[in-house]
Structure formats: C-alpha cells, structure tokens
Amino acid sequence: MKRQRGHKARLGLTPVQLWKIEDQGHAARAMWNLIHDLWTMTPKCQRSLSRMDTEIRRARKEIDWLAKLPAQAAQQVLKTYMRAWVNCWEGRAEAPTFKARFRTRAAIDIPQGRDLRIKRLTHRWGQVWVPMVGLVRFRWTKDLPGVTKGSHPGRVTGARLVKDALGWHIVFRTETLVDDPTPHQGPGVGIDVGVTRPLALSDGTFRDHDAWLTPKEAERLRRLERTRERQKQYRKPGERTSNRLARTNRLIAGYRARAKRRTLDWQHKTTTGIADTFGVVGVEALKITNMVKSAKGTVEEPGKNVRQKAGLNRSISGEAWGRTVTLLEYKLADRGGHLVKVPAPNTSKRCHACGFITEGNRESQAVFVCKNETCGWSGNADTNGSCNIETATKHQAPEDIAGVRTWSLSQWAGPEASTAHPVAL
C-alpha cells in the first residue's frame, strides 16, 4: 500500500539565500495574480490551459523579476490555479481570488523530487537543493524514505517552500510502501467535541489541555493587539505601513504561531493515543463554518448578543475541531481502524440511557438530567452526548467493521444504563 504524507522542516538560510527565496515568493504571488487577471479578462470561449502556459513563458522572458521564479515553480502556480477552479466548480471551495501581499502565505513549489538532492549532514541538520538558490540546510527531525538507511521503502516525490511567522520552512511530500494494516482489535468509542471540555469520550474520560498561551503571553498579546489598533488609526488608506506597525504585526503573528504549534502538538499526541486504543471512533458531522458565522445581522435586523457570539466563535476556532477529526481519520486508517461521522441533531438533547428527548434535559452547560420519570439519569452533559454518538455509530458503521453490530450498550453507557430502556435513534 502506498502511503502519502508530508513532513515539515525549518530552513537554515543565509542572508543571500533568504533574499533569493523572498524574491521567488513574491514572484510566485505576482504570477498567481497575473494569471487570475488574465483568466477573468479573457472571454470564456478563449480560456485554455495551453494559452495560459504560453503567456507564462512569454512573461518570464520579458519581465526580469518574474524570471527569478524557476520555470517548474511557475508551471505549478498555473496548475494550482486551475485546480482551485476545479474545486470551485465541484462545490468544494470558493472561487480563487487576488492574493494580497500581507494577507497571503508565501509558497514556492519544487514539483520534482529528483531535483532535491537530499543529504544528511549531521544529527540535527540536512541539506537540500533549491532551484536558483543552491544547497540549503534544514532541520533534520525525521527520517525520509529513500534517503535514510533502514527507513520504509519509498521516495520523496516533491517539496514546497512555505513562509510563516517563524520564517521559511520546507514541506517534503513523501510516498512510502507499507503493508496493509490488520483490523484494529480495540473497542469502539464516541467522541463529543466542545469548548469547556475539548474531547469527551463515551467511556467517561476526557482529553483536556491547558490554555495555549500562558497568562503573561495572553496579556502581552492583548496589549499588542490594542497597540496595533491605535497605530492603525494614524494610517491613511493606501498609505505605506509604518515600521512600528509592521513590527507590532510581526510580534502578534509570533504569539499566534506559538499558540498554533502548541495546539498541533496536543492534537497529534491526543489523536495518536486515541487511535492506538480504539478501533472504531464515532464523531459528529459538524458544519463548523456555519457554527462560527457572525451574529451581527444587518442594519435593518441587527443581531443579538453579538459580542458573546464573537467570543464563542473565537473559542471554537481555537479548538480546531476539523483538524482533530482529520488527524484521527488518517491515524485510524494507518492502524486498521475506522472513523464514522454521525448526524449531529439531538445528540446533546437525547438521554443515552432511555432515548428520551426534550429541551429541558440539560440543566446547565455541563450537567444533563433526564426528565423521563422512569429513567432520571444524570451526569456530565458531554459524556451523555458522546454516548449518543457512540450508539449512532453502531447503527451507521459499515457492516464489514468487525464487532460494530455486536457491541453492548452497557459497555459504553456504564452501570447507570438500564437494559429495560432501549436507546431510541
């Protein structure tokens, strides 16, 4: 079985190399914008990939600063742009737009893996060939297939240079040959995601984390954001950003990048532990984009509790539920497990012990009390929701998953569940 993965490593650039890569990054962004302008101005009957390719070749010959971008990287910009339109036409994404300089992450593609010439130098450093830049050092934190002796058979198919608040990184695209995973023999579990308790499992346990930033870091970030708003008041529309405002933006981006690294670290460790323990995991099929929409409304019909909803939106975005599900999905597949997405309606209102649904079942955000006189189950609301997700998983999972149809309710609901009250879906 072929397994495709990505590995990100930080680059150690000299000042000259940094200057060359920055030029390539700006040229790649400008190439995207020129292709976008040409595409939108060209009549639909005359749009074609071959014409765009011809115009790219002509532009690289006539414009010196566009020629700083390697030819293969320029071709990859065109392919990425066309793929963006295909994703739009198939309903998976919005239409591609103009890429602004300060709101777009710079990226440069190296599509051919054979051009990289990867070599390990020391225990901590390796080197890679970047077209029109030369040999560049990068942090060696993981063995690469086809490069390290004793690693899985495979190869590096390509790479991409990306820039974030910490500087330039290289992302290797790897392809390894692994044996087909054997079916996971672990039990099943349902997971309910939240803000107060990030992950609640149907076995009664939780997966919690501390704040992504320490109190001092959070206070520093708050002060920097207030400073930025004050500095922006003195900037006229269209005026160049001052050095002080640019420095403030860099500091804010650094703190946010630090929080994101800690988030990723916790998500990887947590999802790896869940994938190692459980064979089938059920989660809600949430539409997170709709959940984080603003409540401000319109001028004619203004919204209510706008600031409170904005705070909730920030909390939901900070938990990155979608990324947690993505990590779980591929890690379970690597171990022979399965991820099942179940409908979200009524998972928090239904009593998992008797199936009774009513608006008053939740006494508070954290406590669930069943109003059914013959049941009266009470406990953590998130645990109740995860048990409902687990029950729905057993009814929705594919038939070929071993053991899904034979799980008993008492295994998940705990001793409080009574077999006299069947779960209603």
Residues marked active site are found at 192, 284, 382
| Angstrom distances, CA of residue 271 to CA of 58, 77, 88, 143, 328 | 49, 33, 31, 22, 6
Beta pairing, strands 167-177 & 119-120: unpaired
Beta-carbon contacts of 132 under 8 Å, excluding residues fewer than 6 positions away, are: 20, 24, 68, 70
Here the tokens at position 57 are: 């070749």
| Angstrom distances, CA of residue 159 to CA of 55, 109, 170, 245, 417 | 25, 6, 7, 33, 52
422 — alpha (psi -120 to 50), left (phi > 0) or beta? Answer: beta
Position 374, amino acid = T
Other Cβ atoms within 10 Å of 234 Cβ, number: 10
> 53: exposed, middle or buried (C-beta count within 10 Å: 0-12, 13-18, 19+)?
middle
Other Cβ atoms within 10 Å of 413 Cβ, number: 25
| Angstrom distances, CA of residue 345 to CA of 52, 193, 197, 349, 424 | 47, 14, 19, 9, 13
Tokens 């939901």 correspond to 316
For 180-210, give the DSSP string. Answer: PPPPP-S-EEEEEE-SSSSEEETTS-EE---
Here the tokens at position 71 are: 């030819």
